[in-house]
Amino acid sequence: MMMRAAVGFWVLSAVICMGRGHHHLGHDDDKTVQDTVADSSANSVSLVNEANQEFSFRLYRKLAAHADSQGKNIFFSPACVSAALAALSVGAQGETHRQLFGGLGFNSSLLMQTDVDQAFQMFLQRANNTSQEESSEGTAVFVDNRFKPKPEFLQTLKQSYLADGFNEDFTKATESADTINKYVEEKTNGKIDQLVDNLDPNTVMYLISYIYYKGKWATQFDPKLTKQDDFNVDENTKVSVDMMNLEDRFHMHHDHELNTTVLQLPFNSSYSMLLMLPEVMATLENAISPNHVTKWLKATMIRRRHEVYIPKFSIKTSYNLNDVLSEMGMTDMFGGHANLRGISEEQGLAVSKVVHKATLDVDEAGATAAAATSINMRLKSNPYLPAPVLKFNRPFMVIITERNTEKILFLGKIINPTI
C-alpha cells in the first residue's frame, strides 16, 4: 500500500502591542503606488482586499458556531489565514483550486492566480515597510530532503508571499521540529515558541504563515489607575480582572442597527483597535460586515470625552481549521481528491492539517484586541459634570484594522479575559 505524502499547513499569528509607533502607507502613498500600475491591476488589488474582508467575518462565524468554541474567547488573524490559503492555491489545480478560490471569496471570472499573487505581494510589502521589531508578515516553507517541489511553485512563494525556504531531514524528527520552532519563535518575537511537538513521518512539507504586530496606544493608560474589578462572563459568573482606566476624548459610535456601542482606540500608527460592546452578542456576530467597519472608521465616529475602563489581559488561542475550512467548501485539499500538482507531480499529496495559533497581550502601553464591556453613559459632556463612563466589563468583540486600507489583521471575541 502506498504511503500518502502529506503537507503540514500551519498558520500562526502573534500580537503584542506595547512598542513604538510606526509608519504605514496612507492615502497619498497608496495613490503613488497605484499610479505606477495599470488600472486593471489596481482593480484586482481592490477585489482581493474586498474578498479578504468578507472572508474575515465568514471565518469568524464558522469558528463561533463550532461546539468547541462555545463559551470561549475567539481570537485569530484573518489576514494570516487568507495569506496562507492563497499561497497554497499557487500549487493547487482543478477542483481543488476552484474550491480554494471560492472559499476565499475570489471571483475566478475576474481574478486569475497571478492577480491574487500580485495583490498579496503588495499587501505583505506594505505591512513589512517598517522595523522588524514592530511588524512582520510572511510565509515559510520547510521541505523534506526526499521531496522535490516544483521550482516555479517555490519561486512564486518567494516573490509574492515573501517566503523563506528551507530543506530539512524530516527523518531527524526532533532536530527538524526544533528548527521550525526556533524560526517561528524568532518571527513572532517569542510569542509562539512551541508550534511543532513532533513531526508526522508522512509529512513532506510545512507551509507556515505568520504575522506579528506590536503597537503603542496613541494615548496610554496610567498604570497607577489600574484597579481590581469584576468582569461579568455571563449572568452567573464573575471573574476578577486588572481594569485599566483612562479619561480622554474618544471616537465613539452607537450602531442602532446592531444595538452596539463602538469605541476606536488608535495606535501610534495607521492602525486602530475597534472595541464593540453589543446589547446582544448574537445580533452583532451574525450581522457584522465590512460595511460596518467602513462606517465606524469614517465620519460617523464622533469624538467625545469619556471615562473608559478596559481589562488588562493576555490570551492564547489554537485552532485546527480542517473542519471549518471544509464547511466553507475547501474539502478536496484534505483527502484523496486533492490536486496539488502545482506543488509536485508526486501522487497522493494532500494537506494533513491546517493549524492557526494566535496570542494577544493588552496592557497600559499598548494592545491588539480589547476587552469585554458594560456601558454606562450620561448625556452630553459638560466641564462641570463627570465624563460618561464606558466600562468593558462583559463580553465584547474586537478588531485590529489598518485605517486606510481597512485590512483586518485580527478579529475576535473576549468572553473571559482571565483564560
Count other C-beta atoms under 10 Å from residue 130's C-beta: 17
Does position 207 have pLDDT exceeding 50, yes or no? yes
pTM of the model: 0.85
Q: Which residue has the cell 475550512?
A: 325
Give the angle 72-73-78 at the CA atoms, nearest 5°.
130
Task: Please tell me the CATH code under which domain 223-312+364-414 is placed.
Answer: 2.30.39.10
Please say if the pLDDT value at position 98 is more than 90: yes
Of 128, 131, 360, 388, nearest in space to 263 by CA: 388
DSSP string, 149-185: --HHHHHHHHHHS--EEEEE-TTSHHHHHHHHHHHHH
DSSP secondary structure string, 248-277? EEEEEEEETTTTEEEEEEEBSSSEEEEEEE
Q: State the burial class of residue 379 (Cβ atoms within 10 Å of its Cβ: 0-12, 13-18, 19+).
A: exposed
pLDDT at 363: 83
Tell me the domain boundaries of the chain: 6-215+315-361, 223-312+364-414
- What per-residue confidence (pLDDT) applies to 107? 92
With contact defined as beta carbons under 8 Å apart, do 49 and 119 qualify?
A: yes
Q: Round the CA-based radius of gyration of the chain to a whole number and report it.
A: 22
The average pLDDT across 256-273 equals: 89
Q: Return the percentage of the chain with pLDDT > 90, whole number.
A: 42
What pLDDT was estimated at residue 301? 64
| pLDDT cut 70: percent of the chain above it | 83
Q: Are 73 and 369 contacting, i.e. CB atoms less than 8 angstroms apart?
A: no
CATH superfamily of 6-215+315-361: Antithrombin, subunit I, domain 2 (3.30.497.10)
Report the C-alpha gap between 292 and 248 in whole angstroms.
24
Q: Which pLDDT band, with edges at 50, 70 and 90, does 70 fall under?
A: confident
DSSP state of 217: B
| Residue scoring higher pLDDT (359 or 33) | 359
Instruction: Supply angle C-alpha 326, 48, 329, rounded to 5.
Output: 15
pLDDT per residue over 235-260, tens digit each? 999 999 999 999 999 888 889 999 99
CA distance 374 to 232: 9
SS3 call for 115: helix
Q: Which helix (H) or strand (E) holds 103?
A: helix 94-104
Cβ neighbours of residue 250 closer than 8 Å, sequence gap 6 or more: 263, 264, 265, 303, 304, 305, 306, 308, 390
- Helices 78-89 and 94-104 pack at an angle, to 10 degrees, of 160
Kindly indicate the confidence band of residue 97, based on its pLDDT and cuts at 50, 70 and 90: very high
Round to whole Å and give the CA distance between 382 and 300.
Answer: 22
Q: What is the pLDDT of residue 73?
A: 93
- 227 pLDDT exceeds 90? yes
Q: How far apart are CA 14 and CA 214, in angstroms?
A: 9
Kindly report which listed range (5-9, 39-43, 119-123, 216-220) carries the lowest average pLDDT score.
5-9
Per-residue model confidence (pLDDT) at position 218: 86
Cα(49)–Cα(53) distance, rounded to whole angstroms? 6
Q: Does position 370 have pLDDT exceeding 60, yes or no?
A: no
Q: Which of 107-121, 136-150, 311-325, 372-386 has the highest mean pLDDT?
A: 107-121
When the pLDDT of each residue in the chain is averaged and rounded to a whole number, the result is 81
Of the ranges 128-137, 236-245, 399-408, which is most confident? 236-245
Specify the range with the lowest mean pLDDT, choosing from 93-97, 156-160, 190-194, 296-300: 296-300
Q: Which of 27-36, 212-221, 254-263 has the lowest mean pLDDT?
A: 27-36
pLDDT tens digits for range 342-360: 998 887 888 888 888 888 8
C-alpha cell at 402: 489598518
Q: Which of 101-115, 282-296, 379-393, 396-410 has the lowest mean pLDDT?
A: 379-393
DSSP per-residue string spanning 372-388: --EEE--SS--TTSPPP
